[in-house]
């Protein structure tokens, strides 16, 4: 599956020369983390991952203290048994009111997905999403 995505990405998307933009991806599904890491890396981004909100917040703070802050955080809205996107964005906004975060979920009609800006998100991705949607949402949030 990744090989097909790699071919599609290389055919359709210009890959940046330098890996300067740092993205933190939070999702409880390892397969999604793997696919997003691979896809974002192919697009030229530097990627780190977290399986829940607690770890995402720890990594966000640590990266900031090291002078290598994340430019964007992509967060799954629902993390069974853990801190999901809605609670995590609230804490990240306390840490950095200018945090650029994208919420991701398979449930497009929920309150957060219907109005992500109200909760502090700069963008949203409805699962399953195409790589072109990911690229476009990132460019929108980064600009």
pLDDT of 50-109, one tens digit each? 999 999 999 999 999 999 999 999 999 999 988 999 999 999 999 999 999 999 998 878
**Token pair for residue 111?**
């309150």
- Residue 34 domain flag: yes
Q: Give this prediction's pTM.
A: 0.86
- Alpha carbons 76 and 80: distance in angstroms, whole number: 11
Segment 9-38, tens digit of pLDDT: 444 444 444 458 999 999 999 999 999 999
- Spatial contact of 104 and 124, defined as CB atoms under 8 Å apart: yes
**Residue 7, in any domain of the structure:** no
**Domain tally for the chain?**
1
Domain span holding position 78: 20-142
Within a domain: 89: yes
In-domain check, residue 53:
yes
In a domain, 93, yes or no: yes
Closest CA to 105 of 30, 26, 51, 21: 26
Q: Angle between the 85-95 and 53-65 helix axes, to the nearest 10 degrees? A: 20
CA 69 vs CA 35, 64, 66, 129, 136: distances in Å? 22, 4, 8, 26, 22
Q: What is the CATH number of the domain that holds 134?
A: 3.40.50.2300
Residue 5 lies in a domain: no
CB 85 within 8 A of CB 24: no
């Amino acid at each position: 599956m990744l090989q097909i995505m790699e071919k599609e990405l290389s055919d359709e998307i210009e890959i940046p020369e330098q890996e300067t933009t740092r993205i933190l991806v939070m999702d409880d599904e390892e397969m999604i983390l793997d696919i997003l890491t691979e896809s974002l890396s192919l697009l030229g981004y530097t990627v780190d991952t977290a399986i829940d909100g607690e770890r995402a917040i720890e990594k966000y703070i640590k990266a900031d203290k090291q002078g290598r802050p994340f430019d964007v955080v992509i967060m799954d809205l629902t993390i069974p048994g853990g801190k999901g996107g809605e609670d995590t964005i609230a804490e990240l906004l306390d840490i950095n009111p200018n945090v650029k975060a994208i919420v991701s979920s398979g449930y497009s009609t929920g309150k957060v997905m219907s109005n992500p800006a109200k909760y502090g998100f700069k963008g949203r991705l409805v699962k399953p999403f195409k790589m072109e949607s990911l690229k476009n949402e990132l460019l929108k949030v980064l600009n």
